[in-house]
Amino acid sequence: MPRVIEYHDTVISRFPTIRTPHLELIQITEAHADDLLKLFGDQQVTRYYNLSPFECTNDSHKLIDHFRKRFEAGTAIRWGIRLNESNEIIGTAGFNNFTRKHRANIGCELQHAYWNRGITTEAMHAIISYGFHALDINRMEAEVMEGNEPSIHLLNKIGFKQEGTLRQWMYWNNKHYDMLMFSLLRSDAHA
């Protein structure tokens, strides 16, 4: 697994910025509301996400506030993904929840115009490395809705193992969905 170029902070007293060869993973702020509207307003992006497509920047502000509160509570970290030469956030990635020295639930999404360019692979490698080294996480988990082949492919590509199916695990839009459970252990990443 490629190592991250730079961590700004290994203690979460302030939001950690992560730099990789092509990306900067940064804190999402109110200044990024239009970027999030573009990202989450796209039905191709939200198709397998338990979130209705955004209709206005007010939806973005609510999500930004949610990300901020979860970070301040010490239970989650969600980074904005931007290319090194750009100020625009083109995706988000991070830990939906985590417990230091134990486990983290990981996820990401990217504007469809940037799919199949290796961006989420690079971002996820960096976030996984941060989790294993800075947070001392032992187990990374990801739940994926059945049929979400791009996410399944990504998880397989970065070393996750499919463990099974969580039957009717997610409830969204008045319907239950089966989810596929994937995991990556620290020992897998160092094998």
Q: Per the structure, how many domains does the chain have?
A: 1
State pTM to two decimals: 0.89
Residue 47, in any domain of the structure: yes
Residue 79, in any domain of the structure: yes
Residue range 50-86, pLDDT digits in tens: 788 999 999 999 999 999 999 999 999 999 999 998 9
Residues 32/37/39/42 CA torsion (nearest 10 deg): -170
Looking only at the bridges linking them, the beta strands covering 23-27 and 6-7 are unpaired
Is the separation of the CB atoms in 154 and 124 below 8 Å?
A: yes
Q: Could you list the residue range(s) of the whole structural domain that residue 68 is in?
A: 6-140
What is the predicted pLDDT for the residue at 6? 42
Helices 57-72 and 33-40, axial angle in degrees (round to 10):
110
What is the predicted pLDDT for the residue at 12? 65
Residue 3 has pLDDT above 60, yes or no: no
Residue 18, in any domain of the structure: yes
Residue 23, in any domain of the structure: yes
Region 151-165: mean pLDDT is 96
Is the separation of the CB atoms in 159 and 189 below 8 Å?
A: yes
Residue 17 has pLDDT above 90, yes or no: yes
Residue 150, in any domain of the structure: no
The Cα 178–Cα 191 span in angstroms is: 31
Residue 15, in any domain of the structure: yes
